Amino acid sequence: MAKVAVILSQLAGDLPAAKESLLLLLPLLLLFLLPLCFSIIRSGRRQGTKKLPPSPLALPLIGHAHLVGAHPHVSLRRLADRHGGEDGLMLLRLGVVPTLVASSVRAAQAVLRTHDLSFASRPQSICGEVLLYGPSDIAIAPYGERWRLAKKLATTHLLSVRKVQSLRAAREEEVALVINKIHGAAETRDAVDMSELLSKFTNDIVCRAVAGQSFRLKGRDRVFRELIDEALVLLSGFNLENFYPGLARAAGGLLTRSVRRKAENLRVQWDRFLDKLIDEHAMEKADGGGSDPECDFIHVLLSVQEEYGLSRDSIKAILVNMFAAGTDTAYQTLEFAMVELMMHQKAMAKLQHEVRSRVPKGQNNINECSLIGMTYLKAVIKETLRLHPPSPLLLPRVSLEDCDIEGFQVPVGTTVLVNAWAIGRDPKLWEAAEEFVPERFIQNEEINKGIDFRGMDFQFLAFGSGRRMCPGINFGLASIEIMLANLVYHFDWELPKGVDKIDMTEVFGLIVSRKEKLFLIPKTDMAPCAF
């Protein structure tokens, strides 16, 4: 019993309130879980001789949840190496939830291509239901017509190549602001908080595209940052409610009351924020402003609201998605790229040489035209995404029907995780798999088109693949490329005095981040930007 209490407290993660209520509720929890366990054993027997994917030994009640730890992508790779089959499939039970883990190219292809439709939905949770209005968003909405429509709207009116190109001036302006701020720090030889600068930059780009304004201008950026952070923590998935979804219904939701309350409180704050934004846009439209409905994404959504039968809640859900999915993915990629370049000074020098040699004399910044042909820049970004995919397990999927994968039975309702991080570092697929070697993506001085992250190569899945693949690739890459090119063009970089190593400890979540902020000292003899 004491051991179970310790394990359950680990499941509650770092949240002290969750730990407290868990330990208090332990006896009640056991009362509800025992019948559940018997029903799982009974259903196991009913499945009789059907072959399930291999599993490690499970504990009663807990299943394999205690094996997941603080860095699930890392521990799942270790487990798959030891207990998974040759085809890279492993079945775990996280609490009471059957969870299929795909850790090889073959397994990923089976899930994301061959059986894409069977796995096209997402597991549901209280936090998702509350924070994403149903959910009626794109990223965690169940598969169906509403999801298809929302994704089509975002893809067509915000994330298409044409739309992304039209945001070029906004990106160049935001880059200039960041670069000029760093020039200020370079004069005084101060260390720059790169984490803050880069996360604000990617956030400002998304806000300008979605809401037509940077939240910095109205002083809303801090509140907004906090809202995103809190939402990502609640939605991150590896928590008690996701391991025991039946608890959400048991005893009138008594055991999950605390997490529901947290999500509801946060949603009130999101509501306040989003309602204000939407009202401002509606007023602008009524006053005859915003006459071009394509001028930002909120105007687009308002202009098609009736035609597509979009409720205000659906609009809010889509907006939360864009803000949350678009900000930290690009920011973390930029930060990890700078970290890897700092740790690999030869790669930094090579990138600086490429970037600096391609800019015509007299031009004191890199604009988007200058990026064409910057092969090494693109290779650095690809290599960063291979080693540090921001969502290392993609977003979880759930099976909509019983299916047969590589000769194994996968029952309906099974959660599916694809360990893109493990596949990207598999020594059977990549030479010097753990090393940062951008050159691996270059062939005959051109970017190697053979291995790409656009969903066709299952050894490189930073953006996922199939129906639920990321629609924001072009949007994200455009911000990353222009920012990284300018950072290394304008400055030479040093670690702050007394720091000789960069701490790579990660914090797991929907988007993995580095635990420590990145501080760097910029040096330059160039003039500030003038876009």
CB 508 within 8 A of CB 238: yes
For position 321 contacting ligand HEM by CB under 6 A, the verdict is yes
Q: How many CA atoms, within 13 angstroms, populate the side-chain half-sphere of residue 347?
A: 23
Among 430, 460, 463, 489, binds ligand HEM (CB under 6 A): 463
Q: In terms of Cα–Cα distance, which of 219, 195, 429 is closest to 331?
A: 195
Touching ligand HEM, residues 10-69 (CB under 6 A): none
Does 464 engage in binding with ligand HEM (CB under 6 A)?
yes
Which helix (H) or strand (E) covers residue 464, if one does? none
Single residue of 471, 518, 520, 521 touching ligand HEM by CB under 6 A: 471
- Pick 18 or 511: Cβ nearer ligand HEM: 511
Stretch of 244-252, 284-292, 388-396, 487-495 lying at the interface with ligand HEM (CB under 6 A)? 388-396
Q: Which of 120, 521 has the CB closer to ligand HEM?
A: 120
**Which amino acid is it at 171?**
R
- Quick one: tokens of 265? 């409180």
Q: Is 326 in the site for ligand HEM (CB under 6 A)?
A: yes
359-366: Cβ within 8 A, 24+ apart: 359/489, 364/526, 364/527, 364/528, 364/529, 364/530, 365/172, 365/175, 365/176, 365/179, 365/486, 365/489, 365/490, 365/529, 365/530, 365/531, 366/482, 366/485, 366/486, 366/489
274 binds ligand HEM (CB under 6 A): no
- Pairing type for strands 97-102 and 415-418 reads parallel
**In the set 475, 489, 491, 493, which binds ligand HEM (CB under 6 A)?**
475
Shorter beta-carbon distance to ligand HEM: residue 12 or 153: 153
CB of 463 to ligand HEM, least distance (A): 5
Our CB check for ligand HEM shows the closer of 290 and 390 to be 390
Residues 170 to 229 in contact with ligand HEM, rule: CB under 6 A: 206
Q: What is the CA radius of gyration of the chain?
A: 24
Question: According to the binding rule CB under 6 A, does residue 300 interact with ligand HEM?
Answer: no
| Measured distance CA(482)–CA(479) in Å, rounded | 6
The reply to whether 108 sits near ligand HEM by the rule CB under 6 A is no
As a whole number of angstroms, the distance between CA 275 and CA 272 comes to 5
Locate all alpha helices (DSSP H) within 212-253, ordered by sequence.
Answer: 221-235, 240-243
Among 77, 115, 388, 468, binds ligand HEM (CB under 6 A): 468
Residue of the chain from 105, 139, 233, 277 that contacts ligand HEM (CB under 6 A): 139
Contact residues toward ligand HEM (CB under 6 A) are 138-139, 151, 159, 206, 321-322, 325-326, 329-330, 333, 390-391, 394-395, 462-465, 468-472, 475-476
